[in-house]
Amino acid sequence: MKSLSGGPGTVSGLLLRVGQILFSSASIGVTLSAFNSLGFSSFCWLLATMVLQVLWSSGLVCFDVCALRIKRDIRDPGIASFLVFGDWVIATLSLSSACSSGAVTVLYAIDWNVCSQVPISCIRLQVCVAMAFIAWFLTAISFLVTFWMLGSV
């Protein structure tokens, strides 16, 4: 199995995980700050998947830090399979929640153009959806790199 930039146990892989945690946490923060006015199922779903994203990426930050500290080469197909499966699930859930919240935002801001009339801050809606999309994008990169490594066993 080839080692690739962005894969598990590398500095770039660690940076990707840290980025995932930062953007997911930002999305959670903005969603929570406006939760009273965003109490739709889509935003509950966004909150749930972003929490899951933070937990998953935090675990993998610990894993990457340990691998880098003991300078051990982590290219085990078993570990890679587990990471690929986890990243695939998390990336799919993140994309689904980002798109769901995005759809509700578009419905309010564009289809009905009611942002100025109802007590919903459209900027907050847009920010939490944008953060979720960035978190998804970073997870998708981690997934693709690890899947490629696994395929090259």
Binding site for its own copies (CB under 8 A): 40-42, 92, 95-97, 99-104, 106-107, 110-111, 144, 147-153
Residues 89, 71: Cα–Cα separation, whole Å: 28
For the CB of residue 84, give the shortest distance to its own copies in the complex, in Å: 10
Q: Please identify, using beta-carbon distances, which residue of 68 and 79 lies nearer to its own copies.
A: 79
Q: Please identify, using beta-carbon distances, which residue of 60 and 149 lies nearer to its own copies.
A: 149
Residues 59, 70: Cα–Cα separation, whole Å: 17
Residues 47, 74: Cα–Cα separation, whole Å: 32
Among residues 93, 85, 52, 68, which one has the least CA distance to residue 15? 68
Q: Please identify, using beta-carbon distances, which residue of 18 and 148 lies nearer to its own copies.
A: 148
Residue 13 belongs to what H/E stretch? helix 11-33
For the CB of residue 23, give the shortest distance to its own copies in the complex, in Å: 18
Q: Please identify, using beta-carbon distances, which residue of 12 and 113 lies nearer to its own copies.
A: 113
For the CB of residue 18, give the shortest distance to its own copies in the complex, in Å: 24
For the CB of residue 6, give the shortest distance to its own copies in the complex, in Å: 14
Among residues 136, 125, 110, 134, which one has the least CA distance to residue 53? 136
